[in-house]
Amino acid sequence: MENLLVVLGGGTGLYVWIAGLPGVLLLAGAAVGNGRYAPFRLRILICTGLLYLSFVFFFLSFGLEEIEAVGSSARTAPRLWSAGLALFTLDQLRRIFTGRSPRDPEKGDIPRVFLTAGVVALALWGMDIAGYYISTGVMLLLLSLLLGERRPVVSLSLAGGWILFSWAVFSRLLNLNLPEGIFF
């Protein structure tokens, strides 16, 4: 079993995971069908894709080398992301299946999707210049505005809370170096 995890966690295993995503999404779409959960089909497909992605993060972490000199394993961060992503996705699925989630919208807001992708890409690019903390804080502020949050206290507390959480967990607890720009 360990050999299988190492193969699927290696570089060529990524191609297996990428090839498997359409099959998993097709199976989930077929399982939903036209029955009771058909109005939630897109939400279920998105949750299925996110769960699949969390399993990919987990299995790819087996391909990372163990380096104990830095105080934590290189496998820790992907496994934390995997666990968090799976936890919140399973909660969303629970809300769908218990009837507490709204139905899928009739049509999407494609320009907002492209703007969101642009903001995230700009933040990733900006990490080399401004550093992780500033880039992520600005990204979260812009995304909260883009998604319709107009209360400054909520937007600022979200950005500040994430920066504080990132600093405490990744820098202090796990001793991981986040990207540093010219300001940090």
User: What integer best gives the mean pLDDT of the chain?
Assistant: 84
Q: What is the pLDDT of residue 66?
A: 67
SS3 109: coil
In a domain, 22, yes or no: yes
Same domain? 12 vs 89: yes
CA angle 79, 81, 84 (to 5 degrees): 105
In a domain, 178, yes or no: no
Same domain? 6 vs 78: yes
Report pLDDT digits (tens) over 91-114. Answer: 999 999 898 888 888 888 889 989
User: What pTM was computed for the model?
Assistant: 0.65
Same domain? 124 vs 82: no
- Cα separation, 56 vs 103, in Å, equals 28
Q: What is the pLDDT of residue 108?
A: 81
Same domain? 126 vs 54: no
Same domain? 89 vs 9: yes
For residue 162, give both structure tokens.
């994430």
Quote the domain boundaries for residue 153: 110-173
Q: What is the pLDDT of residue 70?
A: 57
Same domain? 23 vs 52: yes
- Cα separation, 64 vs 116, in Å, equals 31
Same domain? 93 vs 8: yes
Same domain? 40 vs 127: no
| % of the chain at pLDDT higher than 90 | 36
Torsion of CA 126, 132, 137, 139, to 10 degrees: 40
Give the number of other Cβ atoms within 10 Å of residue 137's Cβ.
Answer: 20
Q: Based on the structure, what is the number of domains in the chain? A: 2
Q: Mean pLDDT throughout 118-134? A: 92
For residue 168, give both structure tokens.
């405490």
Which of 47, 62, 97 is the C-terminal boundary of a domain? 97
Q: Reply yes or no on whether the pLDDT at 82 is more than 70.
A: yes
Same domain? 93 vs 115: no
Which of 68, 97, 126 is the C-terminal boundary of a domain? 97
Exposure string over 14-44, b if 16+ CB within 10 A, otherwise e: eeebeeeeeebbeebeeebeeeeeeebbebb
Contacts of 144 (CB under 8 A, 6+ apart): 154, 155, 158, 159
First vs last C-alpha separation in the chain: 43
Confidence band of 4 (pLDDT split at 50, 70, 90): low
In a domain, 10, yes or no: yes
- Cα separation, 76 vs 82, in Å, equals 10
In a domain, 104, yes or no: no
Confidence band of 137 (pLDDT split at 50, 70, 90): very high
Q: Which of 26-35, 123-132, 152-161 has the lowest mean pLDDT?
A: 26-35
SS3 16: helix
